[in-house]
Chains A and B, each alone.
Chain A
Amino acid sequence: MTDYNADDARKLADEFKREGYFDQLKRDILTQKHDNDELPLEQSIRNNVASVVRKMVTDDENLIFKNRGSTSALIEAQLFKQGYKRLGEGEDGIQLEEYLNKVLNDSELTQGIKDKLNGLRPTDGGNESIQNDGSA
């Protein structure tokens, strides 16, 4: 069998994750500086959320006197809706969805992953894929 089937790709992806590259990527994206912002993405999202919530509270004071857990869950769901629409509102809002798309479709990132995957293969021992590799 010279062909690779879909399982091999899955296995490869799992191996990638197992090596910790996946989490590293994730962390990198979350901590890298946002466009023209000074702060990392994570922090800017946080600030944004805080301002939105504060605005909400000023609109409706009762929010802070209600059950904190359930209220925050509701607000969280609201913010998450429609591709972080609420976070994009206002003058200094973050277009999070757009930004993420941009980051993910970055050719550099894809290339980096590919490189890592290439580097991963030889170290991958005892797997079916390596056997296939040998025959190929």
Chain B
Amino acid sequence: MSGYYRRSYPIPPTGPQRSNFWHESSGSDYNHKPYFNGGYKRYGRYGNFVDNDVSSRNHRNRREEVNDGSSSSYESPLLNHEEDTKRPIPRVKWDTEELKAKYHYFDVREKKLIHMEEMTNWNKDSKYPPNGYVLVQENNMGQPRPVFKQRVPQEKAVDPRVEQRQQQQQQQVIPPTYRKLRSKLALLPHIVYDKFSVGPPPPNEIVLSLLSNVATVQDISIKNYFKRYGEISHFEAFSDPNSALPLHIYLIRYGSYSGKLDDAARAAYMAFKDHEGRGCSILGTKFNCTLNKNNILEKTISRTVTDNLNRVRKITNDMKKMEKRQKEEEKKESQAYSERKIPLDLAKQINGRPVLVVSKSFALHHGLRVEDFKVKLRRYRWSRILDHSSGLYVVFNDLEHARNCQKVESGKMLITSRAKRAPVDVRFQLIAPTVDKQPTNDINGNHAALPKSSNQLPTYKTKEELISAATSYILKDLENALHVDIRKRIIGPAVFDTLNPASFPDLIAKKEVKEKERKEVVAKKAEELKKKQSTNNDFDIFSLYSGGVTQSNRNRLKRRGSEVIDILPSGRRKLFKGVKPMAHMLNDDSLSKEQTPVAPSTSSPFDESEDEEMTSSDATEYESGEDDNVEQKKMIKVETESTTPEIDHAEKPLFVSKKAEEIMRIPEPYRPSVGGLPKPIQPDDTIRPNLFIDDLQKTVTDMEDLFILKKVLGLDEPNQNDEKSEHDGTLEYRIWKLRSQAQNFRVDQENQLRLLGAPLDSLLLTGNGSFKAQGYRKIPEKLKSCYLPHRRKPHQPLNTVSYHSETKDGTPEVEREESENLEEPESVPQEISSSRDNRASNRRFQQDIEAQRAAIGTESELLSLNQLNKRKKPVTFARSTIHNWGLYALEPIAAKEMIIEYVGERIRQPVAEMREIRYLKSGIGSSYLFRIDENTVIDATKKGGIARFINHCCEPSCTAKIIKVGGMKRIVIYALRDIGANEELTYDYKFEREIDAEERLPCLCGAPSCKGFLN
């Protein structure tokens, strides 16, 4: 034992010595096996136990060794074969609990296989060769076939190719190579550079140099492009030291931020690898990408710099040459064009303004057009470019601009020549305006425009002349202005006003008469048509219904009198006057405008004559046709009469005998009736809340009543008489007063009922005397409906809207005319489209608009379309019974239809809170804030639609829904049920419940299920 071993008390617990140290007591043969194996042992560098015998690492050898040293009780099924083929017997080195788990197939203590029982011989029936087999392809009758072949473990392996090659060599055939030709040395696998690495770090920079000649790429896009390989720690763009212009050489250094040193190098390598050979193209500009090693950056830069210097030298040389040539040309040109002038026919257009000229021959030669110049000179403030046979004239308004333009562009501006297909530089020649030229132009020019203009500008010698000239101007203007004013402001409006049809009432009346006549004719035609139809078809729906009513009336008639048949014609007509079939009503209306459709009520038979007058000849025709119908129906009625119960029988007196006659002689109320208890004959008024004197007097009808009354009051006749005589003087007055009071009260009540439809609430009648005497006091909202006219009739179908329209024209004539029009056969049947169709077409329209807007490409609000507006229903606002104003439907609205959008300012929640307070302070009692969601509120107080007038109701007719239109949340009111015309629209406000009693808002909706409060 070496000192090392002894010292190695805290040796890393690896190797056998650990088990030795730990499990000395439980030592077994296996544990100490290594000690006895070789002659000596040594410890490896890391303290691992290494067997001296190198061959012991050989698997087979070790197995043998195990077999030698172990007297194993275990015998593998293969043991009965050769030693070589034996399954290795597991060797237990460390018998610890911990390690035992690893031997899941072998129990270390018991030294036997755990799953022994479950194991079976794979070759029980010796179906296969005992040593195993291999599958070999054999050529059987030309086809390859797999064949079992016994494995021979002792046989040495032979490379089949060797044999093949030998054969080939014999046959002098060049053997095929099985390895690829390597042109260079194989690359070493990438060795990760870390802190332990020695030597220079791998390059973590890449160098970009320009491949193409134009670079318009910005640094940032390059950076972004290379960012995908890794984090860029440094980015540098180099510029030419001579000219400070960018060289378009970039250095990108990657950093390793994750702590791994290799990351940067890897990123750089990846970037380089991706673009190796083909270069990288960033936004259309090509770059060469290399790793920055071997000073490639410096090399590239210096190369480019020298290149640039060379180029600059070349260009300067060229420029010198050019300048020389140009000067020569200019000399020539100036000689040639020295006397270039503005042609006379352009003089008017140029109008003495400075001009730059390009000679026509030059323009023609290169095929230059005006448009080219317009594009090239777009930065200059020229006014127009004229194409003339003598050249192209660029007209400027200002001489300075023209000079500037010439200075900058002449001889430098390049326009692609269409003839040469290469850019050529254009030279401009300036023709400055000459002030004194105009008179000369004037003198020798025979052009019309110029002399005139010069004549128009006379000069004035004195101040008087000037003033008179100004006066003449003014007078001229004044005349024009007067004419314009007279025409536009006097005659125009006067004509328009006089043409007002209202100022020609006679003409209108005439026209109306004509119109009426025309309508009558049309109506007649329609009637005829209808009559034909009705005669053809007896089971007309109108006659069926109306017939039923007339029949029942007629039956009664028949019973009353026996002379049925005689009365019939007139009687029938009388009935028709009251209960008319719909078709008849229409006829009457069209004939007499004055008559309003009367409510069905049996009218007196005396206005028969009037009726006669109104029916025209064809109306009687119609009636004769109707006669048949009636007759027929009567027949039917008679047949079914027996089955229907006769109400009239019940009214007949029960008694027919003599005694009955006797009873009948007694006045009606006093007649005996059938029943156990006596019934009061007089109605009892005394239970009424306010009993007046005359009521009392009426109640006392006979002696019996008076007797009972006296008894009740406890009055004795003799005593009272004396006392009464004392008061006799005032009694009459008092009685009168009471009576008149009662009378007044009744009249008041009646008036109140007639006016407002509801009795005055008793709470309002508390004081006696005038209302004024009671001073100011707050009247609860509920009671206001008693006396405020617009608050009457809560919760019947309201009439507030039509109330207004009806007062405008006494009879609903418009409606009637409309209905007439509908009856006209010639009228085109209105295409009734469903709301769904409407919406579809609206959507199409919307898409059209949107497409157009996209085409225009502006963000203007002009074309923005509120698609909800299209679906809006006709509604209006009017005074409401519920609260100040309400919204009313003008037309019947079907359930689930959209009615109106709640429009208003879209504000945030804090703004809404602030505004609410402000509105309250400024006295706006009504709240028109509608919450969309927790942070958005629609405020319709100052800016908003009429939807804000919709009141709350506990039994609402509508509901508010929040829908998204184009990504925006909007409030839309939908009908909950079918809503009639002129009905007030309501929805449930759904206010949050308020606990504080003072904060609660009373609900005045008056619905049967009213909760009493809004919140």
B497 at the interface (CB under 8 A from A): yes
| B475 contacts A110, C-beta separation under 8 Å | yes
B710 at the interface (CB under 8 A from A): no
A114 and B466 alpha carbons, distance in the complex (Å): 10
| Interface residue tally on A, bucketed by range | 35 or more
Interface string of B482-523 (1 = CB under 8 A from A): 110111001110111111110010010011000000000000
B46 at the interface (CB under 8 A from A): no
**In the complex, what's the smallest C-beta–C-beta distance from A103 to chain B, in angstroms?**
8
Stretch among B454-462, B852-860, B968-976 lining the A interface? B454-462
| B490 contacts A42, C-beta separation under 8 Å | yes
State which of B463, B465, B474 has its C-beta within 8 Å of the C-beta of A113.
B474
Instruction: Report if A4-B460 is in contact (Cβ < 8 Å); known contacts: A26-B482, A30-B485.
Output: yes
State which of A9, A30, A50, A72 has its C-beta within 8 Å of the C-beta of B473.
A9
| B494 contacts A53, C-beta separation under 8 Å | yes
| B460 contacts A53, C-beta separation under 8 Å | no
| B467 contacts A118, C-beta separation under 8 Å | yes
| B459 contacts A45, C-beta separation under 8 Å | no
Instruction: Report if A13-B470 is in contact (Cβ < 8 Å); known contacts: A6-B457, A50-B498, A75-B495.
Output: yes
B706 at the interface (CB under 8 A from A): no
Residues from 62 to 76 in A contacting B, C-beta threshold 8 Å = 63-65, 68-69, 71-73, 75-76
| B499 contacts A4, C-beta separation under 8 Å | no
Instruction: Report if A114-B494 is in contact (Cβ < 8 Å); known contacts: A9-B473, A29-B482.
Output: no
Q: Chain A residues with Cβ under 8 A from B458's Cβ?
A: 5-6
Interface string of A86-128 (1 = CB under 8 A from B): 0000000000100010001000011001100110000000000
State which of A6, A22, A76 has its C-beta within 8 Å of the C-beta of B491.
A76
**In the complex, what's the smallest C-beta–C-beta distance from A80 to chain B, in angstroms?**
5
State which of B463, B478, B495 has its C-beta within 8 Å of the C-beta of A79.
B495
- Chain B residue nearest in CB terms to A57: B504
| B459 contacts A54, C-beta separation under 8 Å | no
Residues from 1 to 41 in A contacting B, C-beta threshold 8 Å = 2-10, 12-13, 16-17, 22, 25-26, 29-30
| A16 contacts B485, C-beta separation under 8 Å | no
Count how many pairs of residues, one from A and one from B, have CB atoms less than 8 Å apart in the complex: 133
A50 and B653 alpha carbons, distance in the complex (Å): 82
B477 at the interface (CB under 8 A from A): yes
State which of B479, B496, B501 has its C-beta within 8 Å of the C-beta of A65.
B501
Specify which of A5, A9, A45 lies most central, judged by the most chain B CB atoms within 10 Å of its CB. Answer: A9
B481 at the interface (CB under 8 A from A): yes
**In the complex, what's the smallest C-beta–C-beta distance from A16 to chain B, in angstroms?**
6
B469 at the interface (CB under 8 A from A): yes
B471 at the interface (CB under 8 A from A): yes
A102 and B456 alpha carbons, distance in the complex (Å): 27
A109 and B469 alpha carbons, distance in the complex (Å): 15
Q: Chain B residues with Cβ under 8 A from A10's Cβ?
A: 470, 473
State which of B463, B473, B499 has its C-beta within 8 Å of the C-beta of A136.
B463
Q: Chain A residues with Cβ under 8 A from B468's Cβ?
A: 114
| B507 contacts A64, C-beta separation under 8 Å | yes
The number of residues on chain B lying at the interface, defined by a beta carbon within 8 Å of a beta carbon of chain A, is 41
A10 and B483 alpha carbons, distance in the complex (Å): 21
Q: Chain A residues with Cβ under 8 A from B461's Cβ?
A: 2-3
- Chain B residue nearest in CB terms to A9: B469
Q: Chain B residues with Cβ under 8 A from A117's Cβ?
A: 467, 470-471
- Chain B residue nearest in CB terms to A66: B499
| A68 contacts B470, C-beta separation under 8 Å | no
Instruction: Report if A68-B496 is in contact (Cβ < 8 Å); known contacts: A10-B473, A100-B482.
Output: yes
Which DSSP category, helix, strand, loop or mixed, fits chain A's interface? helix
State which of A17, A49, A63, A109 has its C-beta within 8 Å of the C-beta of B490.
A49
State which of A4, A26, A64 has its C-beta within 8 Å of the C-beta of B501.
A64
Which DSSP category, helix, strand, loop or mixed, fits chain B's interface? helix
- Chain A residue nearest in CB terms to B508: A64
| B496 contacts A69, C-beta separation under 8 Å | yes
Q: Chain A residues with Cβ under 8 A from B510's Cβ?
A: 61
| A22 contacts B507, C-beta separation under 8 Å | no
| B499 contacts A49, C-beta separation under 8 Å | no
| B478 contacts A104, C-beta separation under 8 Å | yes
| A4 contacts B471, C-beta separation under 8 Å | no
| A61 contacts B507, C-beta separation under 8 Å | yes
A72 and B510 alpha carbons, distance in the complex (Å): 22
| A45 contacts B490, C-beta separation under 8 Å | yes
| B467 contacts A3, C-beta separation under 8 Å | no
State which of B460, B478, B495 has its C-beta within 8 Å of the C-beta of A8.
B460
Q: Chain B residues with Cβ under 8 A from A6's Cβ?
A: 456-459, 469
| B492 contacts A72, C-beta separation under 8 Å | yes
A51 and B577 alpha carbons, distance in the complex (Å): 51
A110 and B470 alpha carbons, distance in the complex (Å): 11
- Chain B residue nearest in CB terms to A29: B482
**In the complex, what's the smallest C-beta–C-beta distance from B371 to chain A, in angstroms?**
37
A110 and B467 alpha carbons, distance in the complex (Å): 10
A55 and B498 alpha carbons, distance in the complex (Å): 11
Q: Chain B residues with Cβ under 8 A from A68's Cβ?
A: 496, 499-500
| B481 contacts A22, C-beta separation under 8 Å | yes
**In the complex, what's the smallest C-beta–C-beta distance from B835 to chain A, in angstroms?**
34
A65 and B500 alpha carbons, distance in the complex (Å): 9
A72 and B495 alpha carbons, distance in the complex (Å): 6
Q: Chain A residues with Cβ under 8 A from B474's Cβ?
A: 13, 16-17, 22, 113
| A64 contacts B504, C-beta separation under 8 Å | yes
A8 and B486 alpha carbons, distance in the complex (Å): 30
**In the complex, what's the smallest C-beta–C-beta distance from B480 to chain A, in angstroms?**
10
Q: Chain B residues with Cβ under 8 A from A64's Cβ?
A: 499-501, 504, 507
State which of A9, A26, A50, A80 has its C-beta within 8 Å of the C-beta of B466.
A9
Specify which of B478, B479, B510 lies most central, judged by the most chain A CB atoms within 10 Å of its CB. Answer: B478
Q: Chain B residues with Cβ under 8 A from A71's Cβ?
A: 499
Q: Chain B residues with Cβ under 8 A from A13's Cβ?
A: 470, 473-474, 477
| A9 contacts B460, C-beta separation under 8 Å | yes
A50 and B495 alpha carbons, distance in the complex (Å): 6
A110 and B474 alpha carbons, distance in the complex (Å): 9
A3 and B460 alpha carbons, distance in the complex (Å): 5
| A50 contacts B494, C-beta separation under 8 Å | yes
Instruction: Report if A45-B507 is in contact (Cβ < 8 Å); known contacts: A12-B467, A26-B482, A26-B485.
Output: no
| A53 contacts B470, C-beta separation under 8 Å | no
A68 and B466 alpha carbons, distance in the complex (Å): 48
- Chain B residue nearest in CB terms to A79: B491
Q: Chain B residues with Cβ under 8 A from A73's Cβ?
A: 492
Specify which of B469, B499, B501 lies most central, judged by the most chain A CB atoms within 10 Å of its CB. Answer: B499
Instruction: Report if A4-B482 is in contact (Cβ < 8 Å); known contacts: A13-B473, A57-B507.
Output: no
**In the complex, what's the smallest C-beta–C-beta distance from A24 to chain B, in angstroms?**
11
Q: Chain B residues with Cβ under 8 A from A113's Cβ?
A: 471, 474-475
- Chain B residue nearest in CB terms to A10: B473
| B490 contacts A46, C-beta separation under 8 Å | yes
A46 and B497 alpha carbons, distance in the complex (Å): 10
A50 and B475 alpha carbons, distance in the complex (Å): 29
Q: Chain B residues with Cβ under 8 A from A25's Cβ?
A: 478
Instruction: Report if A100-B479 is in contact (Cβ < 8 Å); known contacts: A6-B458, A53-B498, A64-B504.
Output: yes
Q: A13-B473, A53-B499 are in contact. List 10 more A-B contacts (CB 8 A).
A: A6-B459, A12-B467, A16-B470, A26-B482, A45-B494, A46-B490, A64-B501, A76-B487, A100-B482, A109-B475
User: What residues of chain A have their CB less than 8 Å away from a CB belonging to chain B?
Assistant: 2-10, 12-13, 16-17, 22, 25-26, 29-30, 42, 45-46, 49-50, 53-54, 57, 61, 63-65, 68-69, 71-73, 75-76, 79-80, 84, 96, 100, 104, 109-110, 113-114, 117-118, 133, 136
Q: Which 6 A-B pairs have the closest CB atoms?
A: A49-B494, A12-B470, A3-B459, A9-B469, A53-B498, A4-B460
Q: List 27 A-B contacts (CB under 8 A).
A: A3-B459, A3-B460, A3-B461, A6-B457, A6-B458, A8-B460, A8-B466, A9-B466, A22-B474, A26-B482, A29-B482, A49-B494, A53-B494, A57-B499, A57-B504, A57-B507, A61-B511, A65-B501, A68-B496, A71-B499, A72-B492, A100-B483, A104-B478, A104-B482, A110-B475, A114-B467, A114-B471
User: What residues of chain B have their CB less than 8 Å away from a CB belonging to chain A?
Assistant: 456-461, 463, 465-471, 473-475, 477-479, 481-483, 485-487, 490-492, 494-501, 504, 507, 510-511
